[in-house]
Structure 1
Amino acid sequence: MGMISKSCLVQLRNIYPPNSLNKSSRTAIIQTVNVGSVIASAQRRHTMSSATPTGHTATPLLSNKRSLSPSTSSTLGVNPEKKRPTSEEDISHVTLAPLARESSSGFNYQALTESPPLNQTKHVVKALVRSHSSTNAELSYHLQQLRNLSKRKTTFSDDYRNNGNNEDRIRLTSSNLKIVCNENGNDSLVHSTIELKTIETSIELPAAWKPAIQQVTIQRDTWDHKIEFLLAVIGYAVDLGNVWRFPTTVYMNGGGAFFIPYFILLIFGGLPLFYMELALGQYHRSGVFTIWKHICPLVKGIGWATVLINFMTAMFYNTVISWAVYYLIVSFKGVVDDLPWKRCNHIWNTHCCVAADVGEYQYLSKLANVTIVNTTRTTTSTALTTTTRAPEKNCTRLVYSTEEYFYRALQEVDKADGFENLGKVKWELAISLLGVFVLVYFALWKGIKSSGKAVWITAIAPYAVLFILLIRGITLSGSSIGIEYYLQPKMELLKNFSIWNAAATQIFFSLGPGFGVLIALSSYNKFHNNCYRDALITSTINCATSILSGFVVFATLGHMAFVSDKTIEQLIVLGSELVFIVYPHTIALMNWSTIWAILFFFMVITLGIDSTFGGLESIITGLCDEFPNLFGRHRSLFVLGVLAISYLGALPTCTYGGDYIVTLMNEIAVAPALLLVVFVECIAVSWFYGVNRFSWDIKAMIGTRPSLFWRVIWYLISPMFLLMIFYIAMDNFLFGTILIKRTNLRDLPANVQIWSYLMVFAPMLCIPAYAIYKLYITPGKTFDERLQRAVKPEEPLLDLIRSRSAGEQQQQQQQEKTDVL
């Protein structure tokens, strides 16, 4: 009999009218027992046809806190001499047994339990239960799909049949069971609850019974404070891409005009998907594997695809954070000396190095014995009149000290030979990377109880630093030049499809659906949390942060252009170079540069590590929910194992040529597969599970059903939006030009191209591979029959959603008839 490490709330009420029985008869309580073969014996000896004398009523255990008498236990077929479990850990199973039918209108239930020795009777229940109360609002969840439970039947072995009668049974599985009793028989009154701790249980309901189960919901850890969830989501969504990708994307795609397609696609593309994942996680309270059992089991391969994507992301994304850790450490050297990237007097510098804190003209006027070729700038030609008397070296390009520090001091790429020879692991980078994973471990090892505290620093600190840098940036000379470039609208570019594609890609990867992070984080919310409001708040903050970071970046670029006598076009770079070359260069030009360097790289670390928390939490939550006995019981060890695998996988990025791997994975490893994952997810929820059903799920949580606007977007607009950018991403990967360190992917060695295809298609193949497997193991005579079963939710435990009045059910039926969707 399977054990699942989850807990649930179960309230049982007889299906007859409450006024037809007395109070004690209306109350049905399940009592915990240590059974083993005792349950089988009791079930064989006690059948549904058994009856008790007229007028007999069961005494509710909640009222008297006492176990059954020895005589009652004997009637149930339980050996009264059997030793009673003395600790909570001994409890293993829970079973319902009907003792008597008091009238034709309903059933009366009694606990099937072992009776303790006579001298232990008084303390039995007290040792096992803890009482508290909850309001009707908390008990109003979860009954929308009782029909699924009543239809689902499971045949057990002979040990679990009544007197050999091959009676089908409906099976629920859970642990840490909470049992709710309505003592007053009135939904509007306070309900009492007894909670049985650390139980692993299998609840069996004979299919002949049709009790009205009013509430079943998974109980799991919840955020200590609502703000912790918001900070976790904001910290995940606001990452390094907001600093290095968004500003340059705006500049290269129409400046201020880019905001028009950006906000349009936010409303019609990004926000609906963001909202969908928050609602799914909160309602089903499951990770990226288990949740698909309750939506569409056929697409459970999404979970495996998500795990692969997050593992690949962890292998290169944390390396970028480790670079920032390295920069932060060496920045403290600036307290007693200059920042190491300001000067050209280090062993790693070349003869073509230009110090970061002097202008190019001033530097060239002091050069001797250097010839500069293939240059046309006035400053260079002027300098040549005095610097070409005794040429010894040729410089085809002047290199700033910040660039040489990043490539020659930090990574030492000069010791590698591209992908053909990546060189050895650089131990300084490996230690920095290890430090990142150690921080991540202590943030995740206790789940949201530890990560919820970490985000108070990692999510708030970047905003404090960002505002400080913004104030400093706009006060620099020439900052207005950069801000003008950032915001100057080029409306004529709006008719170019490339701008709309850039906006769609930016908003999608900025909000970050598809990684399973939003599902995992929201699964720890309270059921009635307003996820709609959370989606609006967090997505708005994310977009505002992107815009704010653009002001910070371009204000400093304007200052750099002003002091170096260059244009913004000459300074614009993409990706990590903006963070590790351009910005350190600008910092070197400021007064108190050491302080600004420490603040900036601290901000980069906190921006990045929040996203790492989210990605790895998605893996951990998903696997712990899917394999609770294997991973869930030993979370701290499992977290250690996940991080160890990620660290070992990331070590190649710490080699001398590691930047080649980081660039390759950043460019191609995530985007196409992630887009397919979210597309299939959207189809599964909106088309197979049903957008109407999903809307009623949301109403169960927040009390308001999403409007037709949202349902149309989920059903039509979002799939079209995702299909469009997925097609563009695949077309670019298969036929476009993808530059990896200024070299086209198709010009790289064959083994690199093979790895590229594996990284792109391995997560994608998880989805059809699992679908084929699911169809193969699903019983059915025809393909259509198997398909119908495979797309139907197979876990009714989470399908028993909220209790609704007859009028409310009628309202839903009328609404579904009138809805287009």
Structure 2
Amino acid sequence: MATILTSYDTGSKPFKPDISRGKWSSLTDFYTATLTHSFGIKTFSIIPLYAVSTSGILFIIPFMVGLLILSIPLYFMQSFMGQFSSSGYISVYRIAPLFKGIGFSILIMNLATICYSICLTSYTLTYFLASFNPELPWMTCNNGWNTHNCTVVQKFDENHTLAYSERWSTIEYFVHAVRQVPPEDEDEVVIVSWRLLLCTIIIWVMTTAITIQGVEFIGKLLRYFCYIILVCLVIFFLRIIFLERGLHFIYHFFIPKLEHFNYFEYFMFGIILPISLYGTGGGTVLTLSSYNNFHADIKLYSWINAIVLLNIAIIVGICSSIVEDYLEEHYNFRFFYYEITDFQLPFVGMPFFIGKLEIPNFWALVFYLMLLLGEFSTCVVQMLSITTAIFDEFELLRTYKKGITIAISCCLFIFSVCFTTNEGTKIVQNLFNASSITLCVVCFLDIMIVVWFYGREKFQRDVLFLMQGKMYQTWEFMILRFVTPVLILFVTLINIAIYLSELYYVQNKYWDIILITILVKALPTILIFSWILYKMKISTGNILVRLKRICVPTDWYPIDPGDKRRYDDVIGACSENIRDLVTNIDIVDDDDGYD
């Protein structure tokens, strides 16, 4: 059987688990935490764009491909890594010490990501608070931020064509009031949006206060958030389908025109969309699963989560399609054609649609409460992932958890202020679009580590032990080992090419934004190769000997003493039952692991 080394064998510092890290009060908390994390602005901005661009229900085709071939296998694999090791995304790479740099790279990316995620959450909080005004501020043109080109169309007039210079009131509110972008005829200076700054302060204080309460409190809070989000979604969905000619619009969604389904770019992005919604490459699923009980049935929940996410995607697709058709038919407002932002539905089209409903303030509160809780959950989960990774890896810091968490929040808040300026909001949009590519790269590397470097036999053995005898089926493993990495590599390369081609056309105007995006998203990957070179340098022997030695798992065992003893018995005694179950699976020769 495979060899599992200890830190004593390698002469390295032993791993000491954090016995005070806590666990979820129930497995439901893990399920709802991953679901709320995947429900926010991205769900209501990217999915509607795909639904409209691919002519209705056809957007589900690439989305389902991504769920079945990428998301479900990756969700299970990363849940296995976190649950088996009970560690964050740095310490978990005891499974292959050579690639521990991936963990540090994820940490840096998450430190950068949470800064602009807080900014996105401040968008939703701004709209939520504005919904308490007697008159929704984005539905009028008599405000200080409006220009002389502002317009609010009360009803569709086929004899009036909107001039190019005219700007809808919802666009001006988002661009000039929220993002503080000056009109085109004014000199561009760096201006801080006091609305975003105030909301950013509130969100950072709440995120920090919740994080230091511990994982049990976070789990219960996110559970209730998830229930509220789903209730708001159902209420809002029911209101939309009962619009005038609502059934006609639904029919238009489910009976699309096939000639419109020729957008290769959207198909490729649609495949990786489930990965970006889950945040798998960012270590969030891995971190959340590390708080599970050791024998929790993660395989079942990977399928449940995928089914729920698919239904949410269909509901969001129907809502966005109906809203687009309704506004175009009644007000000639084609909000998806405005390229001032990639958030057309949540901050341009939906505000105008809500403003035309009866009791608009109520529906604005329902919609933006749903988005606010989803985005805020993302911030809490990201902060939990950051602190978990740090405290699991650095034992000396565990005594000062609350103080260090507050210090991290204060430092990150300073960087978040940059994203509350008119120039910073432009960077947020670019970083938001580039996030899926970095997630895919990390997911691809994780697959290589677990099912190739760690090895088929060892992975099957650990899954058997973790799932208490439930086998990971042959066809499932075949998909995870061969189909998933090939598809994710292909789609990632295509999306990189598409992204670079788009940057080529805007490089002269936004070269500074492009440079910052590359620095934030690409440079952390240098840590991966730097760590590999460092481990190779301090090891001994020729290159092959060094590579084999530092790829062997070190201290890779359950942290619970009882589970560890049983796991040691499995490895030490080479249980014939488990060995036969694993080796009888005729997949490939067992020479892929480093034994």
- State TM-score, norm by structure 2: 0.90
Could you report, residue by residue, the CA deviation over 1:401-424 in whole angstroms, capped at 9, with x for unpaired residues? Answer: 111111122222117999x95513
Cross-structure match for 2:169:
401
State the SS of the aligned residue for 1:528.
coil
Question: In the alignment, which residue of structure 2 is the partner of 1:712?
Answer: 478
| Aligned pair partner of 1:232 in 25, 33, 50 | 33
Structure 1 residues not aligned, in runs of 5+: 1-143, 156-169, 177-217, 362-376, 382-394
1:730-759 Cα offsets, whole Å, 9 max, x none, are: 22344x1139xxxx4311355444323212
Other-structure match for 2:593? none
Q: What is the rounded CA distance, in whole Å, between the counterparts of 1:150 and 1:400 in structure 2?
A: 64
Alignment of 1:162-561 (within 5 A): 174=16, 220-293=21-94, 295-334=95-134, 338-355=135-152, 358-359=154-155, 361=157, 378-380=159-161, 396-414=164-182, 421-491=188-258, 497-561=264-328
Which residue is 1:745 aligned to? 506
Alignment correspondent of 1:785: 545
The amino acid of 2:116's aligned partner reads: F
Structure 1 Cα separation of the partners of residues 357 and 118 of structure 2:
29
Question: Does the aligned pair in 1 maintain the 2:140–2:169 contact within 8 Å?
Answer: yes
Q: Residues 364-386 of structure 1, C-alpha deviation per residue, up to 9 Å, x if partnerless?
A: xxxxxxxxxxxxx73249xxxxx
Structure 1 contact 672–729 (Cα < 8 Å) conserved: yes
Match of 1:722 among 480, 485, 488: 488
CA distance in 2: counterparts of 1:570 and 1:153, whole angstroms: 62
Instruction: Flag the structure with higher helix content.
Output: 2
Contact 2:126 2:196 in 1 (8 A): yes
Stretch deviating more after TM superposition (570-579 or 406-415): 570-579
Residue of structure 2 equivalent to 1:597:
364
Displacement of 1:722 after TM fit?
Answer: 1.6
Is 2:567 aligned against 1:767?
no
Kept in 2: contact 1:480–1:555 (CA 8 A): no
Instruction: Give, as a single letter, the amino acid of the residue that structure 2 aligns with 1:264.
Output: V
- Show the counterpart of 2:450: 685
- Residues 172 and 798 of structure 1: CA distance in aligned 2, closer, same or farther (over 3 Å): farther
Rounded to whole Å, the distance in 2 between the matches of 1:689 and 1:483 is 49
Q: Deviations over 1:439-468 (max 9, x none)?
A: 211221122122112213322211111111
Q: Is the contact made by 1:224 and 1:449 (CA closer than 8 Å) also made in structure 2?
A: yes
CA separation of 1:304 and 1:646: change in aligned 2, threshold 3 A: same
Offset at 1:676? 1.4
Q: Is the 8 A contact 2:275 2:436 kept in 1?
A: no
Q: Distance in 2 between matches of 1:791 and 1:534?
A: 30
Q: Distance in 2 between matches of 1:425 and 1:686?
A: 48
Q: Distance in 2 between matches of 1:755 and 1:498?
A: 24
Shift of 1:568: 8.1
- SS of residue matched to 1:243: coil
Match of 2:523, SS state, is helix
Calculate percent identity across the aligned residue pairs: 22
In structure 2, which of residues 546, 550, 554 is the aligned counterpart of residue 794 of structure 1?
Answer: 554
- Alpha-carbon offset, residue 686 of structure 1: 0.8
> Alpha carbon RMSD of aligned pairs, Å?
2.9
Pair 353,220 (structure 1): closer, same or farther in 2 beyond 3 Å: closer
Give distance in 2, aligned partners of 1:175 and 1:587.
Answer: 51
Does the 8 Å contact 1:257/1:490 carry over to 2? Answer: no
Question: Structure 1 residues 245, 396: CA separation in 2 closer, same or farther (over 3 Å shift)?
Answer: closer
**Is the Cα contact below 8 Å between 1:243 and 1:546 reproduced in 2?**
no
Distance 1:257 1:459, change over 3 A: same
Q: Equivalents in 1 of 2:222, 2:289: separation in Å? A: 15
Greater length-normalized contact order (CA 8 Å, ≥ 6 residues apart): 2
Q: Which one is further off, 308-317 or 713-722? A: 308-317
The one-letter amino acid paired with 1:359 is: K
Q: CA contact under 8 A between 1:455 and 1:610: conserved in structure 2? A: yes
Unpaired segments ≥5 residues, structure 2: 589-595
CA distance in 2, matches of 1:301, 1:428: 38
Q: Which has the larger radius of gyration?
A: 1
Number of matched pairs: 580
For 2:454 and 2:254, locate their aligned partners in 1 and report how far apart those are by CA, in whole Å: 43
1:251-305 Cα offsets, whole Å, 9 max, x none, are 2124323323322332112110111111111111111011101x11111111112
The reply to whether residue 812 of structure 1 matches residue 579 of structure 2 is yes
The aligned amino acid for 2:222 is V
Match of 1:675 among 432, 437, 440: 440
Whole-angstrom distance in 2 between the partners of 1:350 and 1:415:
8
With over 3 angstroms needed to count, the CA separation of the structure-2 counterparts of 1:445 and 1:231, relative to structure 1, is same
- Alpha-carbon deviation of 1:333? 1.5
The answer to whether the aligner puts 1:153 opposite 2:9 as a matched pair is: yes
Q: Deviations over 1:34-68 (max 9, x none)?
A: xxxxxxxxxxxxxxxxxxxxxxxxxxxxxxxxxxx
The aligned residue for residue 109 of structure 1 is none
Task: Give the equivalent residue in structure 1 for 2:592.
Answer: none
2:173 partner amino acid: Y
Relative to structure 1, the CA distance from residue 254 to residue 587 in structure 2 (aligned partners, 3 Å threshold; closer, same or farther) is closer
For residues 322-351 of structure 1, the C-alpha deviation after alignment (integer angstroms, 9 at most, x for no partner) is: 0211121121122xxx11122212222222
Q: Which residue of 2 aligns with 1:647?
A: 413
Cα distance between partner residues in 2 of 1:325 and 1:627: 35
Determine whether 1:696 maps to 2:446: no
Per the alignment, do residues 481 and 759 of structure 1 end up closer, same or farther by CA in structure 2, a change over 3 Å counting?
A: farther
User: Which letter does structure 1 place at the counterpart of 2:126?
Assistant: Y
